[in-house]
Structure 1
Amino acid sequence: MNRTESNDNGASMGSKGIRRSHQKSRGGCSFCKRRRIKCDERKPSCTNCVKRSLWCSLNTNPSPASTPENAAQATVFEPLPGNHAMEECDESAFTLDVQDLQLFHHFCSITSMTFGPTPHVQQFWSITVAQMSFSHPFLLRAILAIGGLYMNHLRQNSSEASGWYKNKATAHWQAAVRLATPRLSAIDAESCDPLFIFAMLSCLQTFALGPQPGNFLLFTDDSEMEWPIFFRGLRTVAEVSVLFGMTEPARPLAFMYGIANLDLETLPRDGPVTSWGTALRNLRQIMMNEVSGEEERAVYQDALHRLRAGFAAVFGDSDTVGGANSQVVFAWLYHASEDFVGRLQARQNLALVFFAYFAVLIKQIDGVWMIKGWPDHLIAGIYYTLVPATRLWIRWPMERIGWFPPPYITLCDATDGLDMSASSTEPPFLGETILTHLQNTIAENFGGSTAASLGSHQFSLDDCPDLTSKIAVVTGGSEGIGYGVTHTLLKHNIAKLYILSVSKEVVEGAQDAIAKDLGTEKANRTKWFQCDMSDWKRVKEVAEAIKNDADRLDILVNNAGRGIMSFELTDYGVDRHMALNHMGHVVLTSHLLPLIKETAEKGNVVRIVNQASNAHQAAPSDVKFESLEELNKDLGPNGQYGRSKLANILYARYFARKVTQNGHPNVLMNATHPGFVSTKMSKEDIFEPYPLGGYAMAVGMEPFKKSQWEGAVSAAFAATAIKESGQYICPPAIPEAGNKLAQDEKLADQLMELTRKIITEKTRSQSVDKGCPMDDLVLH
C-alpha cells in the first residue's frame, strides 16, 4: 500500500510538524500498489509506469485491452510503425507446410513432455500453449523452433537430418523474434500471457542451441548478450501480467515465483552441516574478506541469501538431490538483483564465483536434454575468466560439477621442471601432507600471503629484456618448466642456449616445437648435451665442453631435478635427491665459474638460478647436514624432496656471501619457487611413491596448478632481470625469506662443507683418470 502525506487538495505537506498520522491515499496505481513502491499519482500515467512503458490504471482513457483499435494512440504503448507493418505482413503470409506440421506435432506430443515432471505442467505446454499459439503467430513460430531444436537433438547422429532441422528451427525463431519484438513495447491484457510464454521459450531456446564458444549466459568474451534480456524480461512481463490479472491458462508459469514462497528468514544463515552448507559458509567468508563497502556487501549478501534458499530447496538437509527442477533452480537467477547481474555481466571476480555456485544447481537438472553440456561449459568459462588468484574460490563448484581444466600437455608430454611437493615425511599422502603444503604454495599461485606485494613485484615472460649476444645454459631445458624457460630465452633473442637433459627424443621434440613457434633459426641456436645431473663425472665433462665451445656465459638455470619419489641411492652411494637436485648443480656451477667470472669482469651481469620450491618447508626441522649417514636416512618422499629444495636456497645464499660479496658483484645467484605447476612430476611420477594417494595430487589438484609457462615466470625474472643476489624469489618476482632453516647461514656453511667432502671422497676414490670434479671445484 502506498503511503502519502497530503491535504484535501492533494498538495504535499512539507512541514514535519503538520504530519497527519495514519492518513493514507488509496489513489496509487495498481502496479505501484502491487510492487509496494511509492506512486506519485501523476495523470494520465504515473512516473513508474511511464518508465516501464506500462498502461497505468490512473489513466482515465480506456485501456488497450478494451479498445485495441486505439492502442496505438497511447504514447506508452506505441510500437514502431515499421515493425508493426512487418508483423502484419508476416502474419498474413505465414502458412504451415507438412514439415511445420511435423514440428508442431512433435512439440505437442514429445517436446512438451520434457518441460516438467508433472502432468499438469506437461498438459499446459502441449494443449494450452498450443491452442494459444493459433491466435499469436509469434508464439506459434517459437514453439515450432523449439520443436525443431529437439528433433535436431534427437537426430544429431544423422548429420543431414540434424542440419535440416536446425536450419528450420533457426528460420522459425528469427521470424518469432521479428513478430514479438514490437508487441513487447505495447503489452496489453491480451498479449501479456503469450509474451510471457515467449520470453520463457526464448530462454529455453538459448539452452536448446547448446553451449556456444564465448557465451556463458550472463557474460561473454566480447559479444553482446541476448539471453539476459529475455530472461530478465520474464520478470518485467510477469509484473505486467499482474496488472491485467494473470489468466488461468498461464497459471503454471507462476512457478518462476516458486522460490519466493521459501521463508528466507527461517533458513539457517550458515546452512546445514553438509558439504553445500560448508561451501556456502566458505563463500560467505570470501565475500566478507573481499567486500568492504556496505552497499557492495548488501548486494552480495542478498545474492548469497537467495543462493542458500536455492540449495535448501534442491538439497534440503543432505548432499543428495531432493527437489531439483528447473523452476527452483532458475528462480535464484530470476530474483537476483539488477546490481548483482550488472556485476556479473561486468565479469567481476566475486560475482563470477557466485555464478559458479549457481552452476552447481544447474548441474542437478542436466538430465534435461537442453541442459546437457551447460554446467561444464559455464564452470569452464568462469574458471578461465577469473584471475588466477581467485580460481581456488570455485574449487567446490568444480568438484560438484565434475569439471577440471585439462592438464597442460607439453609438446613432449614430459618434464624435468620442478614443483611437486608435499609437507610431511609421513607416508599417508592424503593426510596433512598435501593440505599443509597447499597452505604454503597457494600464496604464490593464488595471491595468499604475498598478495600485498604483487603491486610492486610484477613480472611476466613478456617483460624479459632483449638477450641479443648473450649465452645461456638450462638444465632440464627440454621439458616442463625448463622448456618454458628455454622457449622464453629464445623468444627474447638469446644468441646460444645449451640444453642439458637425459632424453634425446624429448629434446628433439622440444627443438621441433621451438622451430614451429619461433622459427628454425631460433631452434638452431640450441645445442644439446646428454647429461644426468646425478652423474658428476658426466657433469664435469659437459661443463668443460661448454667452456671450450663458448666465449661467454650470461645465464645458468639449474632447473633439472627429481620430484617427490621414493628414497634411492646413486652409484656414488648418495641419496639421489641430494645428488641430482643439489650436488650435481654445484659441480656444474663450479666448473663453469671461471667462464662466468670472465664474462662478468667485462662489465656484464651474469645470473645463476637455482630452481627451488616452497616444499623446502617439508625438510625435517632437525636437519644438520653433518654427515653422509644423515643424508642417506630415508625421510620419506616428501622429506627427501623438501631437503633438496632447502639445499637449493641455502646454496644461493652461500654463493652470494662467498662470491657476489667477495669481489664479484656482477655474478648473481638466486633461488626461485615456480608455484604449484602441472608437470610430469605431478601427473605421473607421483604415482611411484603413492600408487593410490597420487590421484589426489595428479587429478584432484590439477585445477589449482599452473601451466609450464606460468611456472617459468619467477625463473625467467631471476635469469634476466634481477639485480640482487642470494634471494628466494616467489611468483611472479617477489623476494621472500623462506622458513627459518632457509635463513640459517651456519646451516648453509655446513651444507656446503658436507657437499665438498662427499663429492671429493666419492669421486677421488674412483681414481683421478675417471674424472674428479673437485679438482676444479671452487666454493670460496
Structure 2
Amino acid sequence: MTRTESNDNGAFMGSKGIRRSHQKSRGGCSFCKRRRIKCDERKPSCTNCVKRSLWCSLNTTPSPASTPEHAAQATTVFEPLPGNQATEEFDESAFTLVVQDLQLFHHFCSITSTTFGPTPHVQQFWSITVAQMSFSHPFLLRAILAIGGLHMNHLRQTSSEASGWYKTKATAHWQAAVRLATPRLAAIDAESCDPLFIFAMLSCLQTFALGPQPGNFLLFTDDSGMEWPIFFRGLRTVAEASVLFGMTEPARPLAFMYGIAKLNLETLPRDEPVTSWGTALRNLRQIMMNEVSGEEERAVYQDALYRLRAGFAAVFGDSDTVRGANSQVVFAWLYHVSEDFVGRLQARQNLALVFFAYFAVLIKQIDGVWMIKGWPDHLIAGIYHTLVPATRLWIRWPMERIGWFPPPYITLCDATDGLDMNASSTEPPFLGKPTLTHLQNTIAENFGGSTAASLGSHQFSLDDCPDLTSKIAVVTGGSEGTGYGVTHTLLKHNIAKLYILSVSKEVVEGAQDAIAKDLGTEKANRTKWFQCDMSDWKRVKEVAEAIKNDADRLDILVNNAGRGIMSFELTDYGVDRHMALNHMGHVVLTSHLLPLIKETAEKGNVVRIVNQASNAHQAAPSDVKFESLEELNKDLGPNGQYGRSKLANILYARYFARKVTQNGHPNVLMNATHPGFVSTKMSKEDIFEPYPLGGYAMAVGMEPFKKSQWEGAVSAVFAATAIKESGQYICPPAIPEAGNKLAQDEKLADQLMELTRKIITEKTRSQSVDKGCPMDDLVLH
C-alpha cells in the first residue's frame, strides 16, 4: 500500500495486519496543539474538534454570515446530493455547511439535552426520542438546531473564535422553524400535536436562550411585538389538542416530565407560613385590597395571588430554603394564571407589574440553568422602571430577594454630572465628589431591614458617633420617631445637655422614661423640654431666648420637627402650614440662636446645624419660584406641599453655607439630611388624614419595608457630630448627594430666603400691637 492510498482510504477502512504509516507534521489545529494530542488535520475540521463540538482552526471557510450568499446557504439543512454529485465535482463549501449543521445537532443531543433535566430518563427523552421525531418534522429539526446553536454560543461567549457565528446560525434556523410551524399550529392534527407541543416548549426556551433583550420583558415590552407570550400561552392549546387526539407512545414521557405542573390549590393552608415569603405575600394582599375596589377586578387579582402563593409553597415549602425549584413548578403560575390578568400585565397596570415582580423571584431560583441567567435582574429592572415612582416601594421585597437595586443616578439625582465614576471606594468618602459606590450604598439604605444589612460598605453608623462630653444640643421633635433616635444617640455619647422642643408633654415624658430605662436616670435628667409648636413663630422666638439665657454654648442644632404628607392648611398667620412649620419656624429658631452659635464657634468649636429634609423634595413642582405668599398658599396636594417644604430645607442649608460658613464663620456648618423611609407617626398615622383608604398601603402594607427610628437617625447624627463640610445634602448612611436640579439652584435659594424674611417680618409685625413679637431682629446670616 502506498502512502497515498493510506492517506485516502486508511482513515476510514484500514487493513487488518497492516500498520498505517504516519508522517509527522506541525500543521495540526490549535486545539490539538494545546492538548498535545495527535491531529489528523482533516478539513474543514479535524476529528478531535468534531468530537468535542469545537471550532477547528483548520476551518478556513468564510463564516456563513460574512456574505449574503453564505448567509443564505447557512439555512440549508441536510439537503441530499442529487444524482451522482458525490462521485463528481466535490463542493467543499456545501460540505462545510452540512458538517456545521451536524455539529449543532450533535451538540443538542449529547450536551444541551443534559441541561433539560437531572435524570438520565429525561436526558434520553430529549437526546433520542425528540431527535428521532425531528426527522419527520422539519420545523422541529430546525428548532433543535437553533437551540443547539444558542447553547454553543453561550458556552463560547468568552471565546474570540466564536465571533457570534453560532448565534447567527441559530437565528437562521429559528426563523425557518417558525415559518414551517406557524401554519401547522393553526391546524393541529393527531400527527402533528406531539411535535408541535415540543416545538412550542422549545420556542419558550429559545426566548430565554437568546438572553435578555432591551425592551422585552416576556409578558410586556416597549413595543407591540410579543412572540413569547403567544407561544407560552399557546402551550395550553397544544396540550389540550394532545389530550384530545391522544399522545403517542414516544411523547407520553413529555406529559409526565415536562407538562406544566398543576398547582395544588386545594391543599393550601388558609394563612401564609411564618416565613419571609409568607410575610411578603401578606403585604402584597394588603396592597391589593387597598388598591382594588371593584369585585370583578379584585377576583382577577385574588386568583393570581392564590396561584402565586401556591407557586411559592411548591418552591419553598414552609421555610425560606428552596426545596423544589424546577421549570415545571416555577412556570406553573404563568401557565395557569387567567387571560384577564395577562391582559392587565400587558397593559402595564401597576398592580399586575408588582405581581410579576414576585413571579421573578421564582425565576431567580432556577437561574443556575444556562438559559435563565440574567433574566431575573432584567425583569425586575424592567418592572421597576415601568412602575409609577410612587408604587416602586411595593416591589422592595422582590428587589431584595433577586439582589437588584436601581442605578442611583436614576433614583436620587436628575443627572450624573460631576460624579467620579472611577474613584476608588477607599478614598475618604466626604472629600470631593461622591463616588458611584457611595451612591449605590445610599440607594440600598433608603430601606430598612436586611437590605441595609447586606451592603458591602458603610461610611457611618450610630456607634461611630464621637464622644460629646461638655457639648450642648437642641433637637426639635426630639421626643419621638427619628428625632428620638437622634436624642437617644447624643445622650448615649455623653452630651452634657439637650433641649427638646415638641408639642406633647405626654410624649416627651414617655421619651424621658425610655431614656432613663436604657441609659440611666442621670442621662435622662440631662434633657430639658420646651413646649413649642414650630408654626407658632412667637413661641419659637420665646424658646430661643430662653435657651440663650440658660446655656453658655450651643454645639448642635437639629431642625427635625415637621408636618408630614398631609392636606393643605393655613396657620393663624395665613401661611401654608407645611412651609410655616417645616421651614420658616426653623429659620426663626436658627436666627435667634445664631448669636450663641457664633459665639461658641469663635472659641474654636465646630457648631453643626442639621435640617431634616427628604428625597420627597423631588415632589415639589418644577415651576416653583418662591416669589410670593400667594404662590406658597396654592394647594399643591399632600405630596406637593410636603415636597416643597423639604426642598426649602435643602435650599436653606446651601444658602446658609454661602452666607455664613463661607463668609467669616468657617466653624458654623449647616447641612440637610435625608433619613430614608422610616417607620414614624407620620407614615403610620398622619398619612390617613389625606388618604383615608390609600393610607393603608403606606401605614400597613409598607411597614415591613421601613427603616427603624435608629436607622433613620444615622444621617442626621453624622451631620450633627462628624461632618466637616457645609451646604451638603446627606443621605443614609453618610453620603453627600446632589438632590434634584431645584435643590442646586442658588438663585432659587436666594428667592426663598428673601420671601421667608418678608413673610415672617410682615406677618409678625401686623400682630405686634397685641402680641408684642415683632421679627425685625430676624437674622438670616
Normalising by structure 2, we get a TM-score of: 0.49
Residue 438 of structure 2 corresponds to residue 425 of structure 1: no
- Alpha-carbon contact 2:545-2:592 (below 8 Å) kept: yes
| CA apart distance, 1:691 | 1.1
Q: 1:419 to 1:505 in 2, by over 3 A?
A: farther
Q: Find the aligned partners of 1:71 and 1:173 in 2 and give their Cα distance.
A: 14
More displaced 10-residue stretch of structure 1: 426-435 or 437-446: 426-435
More displaced 10-residue stretch of structure 1: 367-376 or 11-20: 367-376
Corresponding residue for residue 390 of structure 1: 391
* CA offsets 1:704-727 (integer angstroms, 9 cap, x no match): 211111110000000000000000
- Alpha-carbon contact 2:260-2:335 (below 8 Å) kept: no
Q: 1:61 to 1:78 in 2, by over 3 A?
A: farther
Q: 1:246 to 1:422 in 2, by over 3 A?
A: same
- Alpha-carbon contact 2:657-2:670 (below 8 Å) kept: yes
- Alpha-carbon contact 1:199-1:231 (below 8 Å) kept: yes
3-state SS of 1:95 partner: helix
| CA apart distance, 1:700 | 2.3
| CA apart distance, 1:680 | 1.1
| CA apart distance, 1:690 | 1.0
More displaced 10-residue stretch of structure 1: 474-483 or 145-154: 145-154
Q: 1:159 to 1:591 in 2, by over 3 A?
A: farther
More displaced 10-residue stretch of structure 1: 331-340 or 274-283: 331-340
Q: 1:594 to 1:435 in 2, by over 3 A?
A: closer
* CA offsets 1:139-158 (integer angstroms, 9 cap, x no match): 99999999999999999999
Q: Find the aligned partners of 1:513 and 1:283 in 2 and give their Cα distance.
A: 34
More displaced 10-residue stretch of structure 1: 571-580 or 702-711: 702-711
* CA offsets 1:305-357 (integer angstroms, 9 cap, x no match): 99999789999999999999999699999999999999999999999999997
| CA apart distance, 1:703 | 2.6
Q: 1:540 to 1:473 in 2, by over 3 A?
A: same
Q: Find the aligned partners of 2:695 and 2:422 in 1 and give their Cα distance.
A: 12
| CA apart distance, 1:701 | 2.1
- Alpha-carbon contact 1:441-1:614 (below 8 Å) kept: no
Q: 1:314 to 1:72 in 2, by over 3 A?
A: same
Q: 1:195 to 1:779 in 2, by over 3 A?
A: closer
* CA offsets 1:450-502 (integer angstroms, 9 cap, x no match): 99998786110000000000000000000100000000100111010000000
| CA apart distance, 1:702 | 2.1
| CA apart distance, 1:115 | 29
Corresponding residue for residue 669 of structure 2: 668
* CA offsets 1:147-192 (integer angstroms, 9 cap, x no match): 9999999999999999999999999999999999999999999999
Corresponding residue for residue 344 of structure 1: 345
- Alpha-carbon contact 1:416-1:559 (below 8 Å) kept: no
| CA apart distance, 1:22 | 22
Corresponding residue for residue 516 of structure 1: 517
- Alpha-carbon contact 1:429-1:690 (below 8 Å) kept: no
More displaced 10-residue stretch of structure 1: 700-709 or 521-530: 700-709
Corresponding residue for residue 766 of structure 1: 767
- Alpha-carbon contact 2:532-2:539 (below 8 Å) kept: yes
| CA apart distance, 1:738 | 0.8
Q: 1:451 to 1:183 in 2, by over 3 A?
A: same
| CA apart distance, 1:363 | 17
3-state SS of 2:500 partner: strand
| CA apart distance, 1:636 | 0.8
| CA apart distance, 1:694 | 1.5
Normalising by structure 1, we get a TM-score of: 0.49
Corresponding residue for residue 88 of structure 1: 89
- Alpha-carbon contact 2:563-2:642 (below 8 Å) kept: yes
Please show how residues 454-469 of structure 1 align to structure 2 within 5 Å: 458-469=459-470
Q: Find the aligned partners of 2:287 and 2:486 in 1 and give their Cα distance.
A: 35
Q: 1:653 to 1:219 in 2, by over 3 A?
A: closer
Q: Find the aligned partners of 1:57 and 1:189 in 2 and give their Cα distance.
A: 46
| CA apart distance, 1:770 | 2.3
5+ residue gaps, structure 1, are: none
Please show how residues 295-444 of structure 1 align to structure 2 within 5 Å: 395=396, 444=445
- Alpha-carbon contact 1:423-1:433 (below 8 Å) kept: no
- Alpha-carbon contact 1:675-1:711 (below 8 Å) kept: yes
| CA apart distance, 1:585 | 0.2
- Alpha-carbon contact 1:533-1:584 (below 8 Å) kept: yes
Q: Find the aligned partners of 2:338 and 2:143 in 1 and give their Cα distance.
A: 28
Q: Find the aligned partners of 2:355 and 2:579 in 1 and give their Cα distance.
A: 46
3-state SS of 1:96 partner: helix
Q: 1:694 to 1:492 in 2, by over 3 A?
A: same
More displaced 10-residue stretch of structure 1: 40-49 or 644-653: 40-49
- Alpha-carbon contact 2:429-2:438 (below 8 Å) kept: no
Q: Find the aligned partners of 1:209 and 1:717 in 2 and give their Cα distance.
A: 48
Q: Find the aligned partners of 1:313 and 1:749 in 2 and give their Cα distance.
A: 60
| CA apart distance, 1:699 | 2.1
- Alpha-carbon contact 1:669-1:725 (below 8 Å) kept: yes
Q: Find the aligned partners of 1:570 and 1:425 in 2 and give their Cα distance.
A: 49
- Alpha-carbon contact 2:360-2:379 (below 8 Å) kept: yes
- Alpha-carbon contact 2:626-2:751 (below 8 Å) kept: yes
| CA apart distance, 1:278 | 20
- Alpha-carbon contact 2:445-2:451 (below 8 Å) kept: yes
- Alpha-carbon contact 1:303-1:337 (below 8 Å) kept: yes
More displaced 10-residue stretch of structure 1: 741-750 or 429-438: 429-438
Corresponding residue for residue 115 of structure 2: 114
| CA apart distance, 1:772 | 2.9
Tell me the percent identity: 96
Q: 1:477 to 1:118 in 2, by over 3 A?
A: same
| CA apart distance, 1:754 | 0.6
More displaced 10-residue stretch of structure 1: 607-616 or 72-81: 72-81
* CA offsets 1:387-417 (integer angstroms, 9 cap, x no match): 9999979746699999999999999999999
Q: 1:136 to 1:62 in 2, by over 3 A?
A: farther
| CA apart distance, 1:771 | 3.8
Q: Find the aligned partners of 2:690 and 2:10 in 1 and give their Cα distance.
A: 84
| CA apart distance, 1:676 | 1.0
Q: 1:570 to 1:499 in 2, by over 3 A?
A: same
Q: 1:390 to 1:642 in 2, by over 3 A?
A: closer
- Alpha-carbon contact 2:345-2:353 (below 8 Å) kept: yes
- Alpha-carbon contact 1:554-1:596 (below 8 Å) kept: yes
- Alpha-carbon contact 1:84-1:182 (below 8 Å) kept: no
Q: Find the aligned partners of 1:184 and 1:385 in 2 and give their Cα distance.
A: 33
- Alpha-carbon contact 2:408-2:440 (below 8 Å) kept: no
| CA apart distance, 1:503 | 0.2
| CA apart distance, 1:776 | 2.8
Q: 1:503 to 1:208 in 2, by over 3 A?
A: farther
More displaced 10-residue stretch of structure 1: 735-744 or 343-352: 343-352
Q: Find the aligned partners of 2:30 and 2:161 in 1 and give their Cα distance.
A: 53
Q: 1:569 to 1:148 in 2, by over 3 A?
A: same
Q: Find the aligned partners of 2:383 and 2:490 in 1 and give their Cα distance.
A: 32
Q: 1:106 to 1:14 in 2, by over 3 A?
A: closer
Q: 1:729 to 1:183 in 2, by over 3 A?
A: same
More displaced 10-residue stretch of structure 1: 209-218 or 500-509: 209-218
Corresponding residue for residue 553 of structure 2: 552
| CA apart distance, 1:214 | 41
Please show how residues 90-169 of structure 1 align to structure 2 within 5 Å: none
3-state SS of 1:77 partner: coil
More displaced 10-residue stretch of structure 1: 758-767 or 58-67: 58-67
Q: 1:617 to 1:24 in 2, by over 3 A?
A: farther
- Alpha-carbon contact 1:307-1:332 (below 8 Å) kept: yes
- Alpha-carbon contact 2:153-2:162 (below 8 Å) kept: yes
| CA apart distance, 1:745 | 0.8
| CA apart distance, 1:679 | 1.1
3-state SS of 2:666 partner: coil
More displaced 10-residue stretch of structure 1: 52-61 or 652-661: 52-61
Q: 1:628 to 1:416 in 2, by over 3 A?
A: farther
More displaced 10-residue stretch of structure 1: 552-561 or 770-779: 770-779
Number of equivalences: 780
Q: Find the aligned partners of 1:294 and 1:31 in 2 and give their Cα distance.
A: 66
| CA apart distance, 1:292 | 43
Q: 1:750 to 1:354 in 2, by over 3 A?
A: closer
Q: Find the aligned partners of 2:191 and 2:56 in 1 and give their Cα distance.
A: 16
| CA apart distance, 1:774 | 2.0
Q: Find the aligned partners of 1:560 and 1:354 in 2 and give their Cα distance.
A: 37
| CA apart distance, 1:687 | 1.0
Corresponding residue for residue 210 of structure 1: 211
- Alpha-carbon contact 1:583-1:755 (below 8 Å) kept: yes
More displaced 10-residue stretch of structure 1: 363-372 or 631-640: 363-372
Q: 1:391 to 1:647 in 2, by over 3 A?
A: closer
Q: 1:41 to 1:330 in 2, by over 3 A?
A: farther
